[in-house]
Amino acid sequence: MRRACLGFLFLASPAFTQSVEQIVDRLTTEWMAAVGNKDDATLNRIMADEFIAHIPESGRAINRSEWLRQARLMENAECEYKSTQVRSYGEYVLASGRLSCKGDIKGIGLEEDSVVSDVWVHRDNLWKVSTRVVASTPRFTGIWRPLAIGAGIPSLLWLFVAIRNRSRQSGSLISSANRPYY
């Protein structure tokens, strides 16, 4: 019995409890890792049902299902938070900072540096992200290969047809009759 009491005191000591800020900071990292790992269980645990992301550049707001659909398109995603600040306001927490992500979407490399602000709400003894405002600057890194294939094949076909037509014209009687001889 004494052993159980000591265990309880050990777990309840202030040195082993995390602040709300630390919990939300850890959850933001888990959230982005879950995107990269396509971990639906973690995404469902962390994201609130009413989640909405505001994208000022486009003037759009996307709901949870659309955000998840877009996140699932990313292959080999690696996201890292930098300069994160977390501030608690009772039942709400504001987490903001820089987010750098790298990955592929259908074979096209994408690197994105974003400034994000997330609003986390406390419900049923869990912290869930309900709102994100994101301003980003995407860079496509692996776009040259798809562009070369997309532009190269039609260009090669055009060149083949042009050369073939030229060789057909130069061998015909009509083209040779119209050529002046000097």
pLDDT at 156 over 90: no
Q: Indicate the length of the chain as a whole number.
A: 182
pTM: 0.64
What is the pLDDT at residue 15? 47
What is the spatial distance between Cα 46 and Cα 28, in angstroms, rounded to a whole number?
9
110-131 pLDDT per residue, tens: 778 888 999 999 988 899 999 9
32: left (phi over 0), alpha (psi -120 to 50) or beta: alpha
Residue 78's closest CA among 110, 116, 117, 115?
110
Considering the four listed CATH numbers 3.40.50.300, 3.40.50.970, 3.10.450.50, 3.90.1150.10, the one that applies to the domain covering 17-140 is 3.10.450.50
* 12 — pLDDT class (breaks 50, 70, 90): very low
What residue segments make up the domains of the chain, in order of their start? 17-140, 146-171
Opening angle at CA 156, ends 151 and 157, nearest 5? 105
How many C-beta atoms lie closer than 10 Å to residue 168's C-beta? Answer: 10
What is the pLDDT at residue 3? 44
- Distance from the first to the final alpha carbon of the chain: 117
Dihedral over Cα of 86, 133, 44, 113: its sign = negative
Structure tokens at 10: 């050990």
Beta pairing, strands 47-55 & 126-140: parallel
